[in-house]
């Protein structure tokens, strides 16, 4: 289910990169609410949503941000 929601978030352009450095990346993801997704090379992925805070497993916001970052990096390589 999270993958389906993540694909829709990407398709609808609901993922925005706010900051990207060699160590961290910050994203804003808008679904029903606005969520902050952070990737840290030291700590991994985190999200401000309820799903992540309770289950500590990747939510649709994290999956969408991961795919967004992957696509962005692939474009830079080409």
47-52: long-range contacts at Cβ-Cβ below 8 A with a sequence spacing of 24 or more? none
Average pLDDT over residues 35-42: 96
Provide the pLDDT for residue 32.
Answer: 87
Structure tokens at 78: 């080409």
Q: What is the average pLDDT score of the chain? A: 93
Provide the pLDDT for residue 74.
Answer: 83
Average pLDDT over residues 35-46: 96
Report pLDDT digits (tens) over 5-31: 999 999 999 999 999 899 999 999 998
**pLDDT band at residue 77 under the 50/70/90 scheme:** low
SS3 of residue 12 by DSSP: coil
């Amino acid at each position: 289910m999270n993958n389906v929601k993540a694909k829709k978030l990407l398709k609808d352009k609901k993922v925005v990169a706010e900051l990207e450095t060699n160590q961290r990346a910050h994203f804003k993801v808008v679904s029903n609410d606005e969520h902050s997704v952070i990737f840290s090379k030291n700590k991994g992925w985190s999200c401000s949503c309820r799903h992540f805070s309770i289950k500590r497993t990747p939510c649709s916001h994290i999956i969408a941000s991961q795919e967004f970052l992957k696509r962005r990096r692939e474009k830079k390589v080409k």
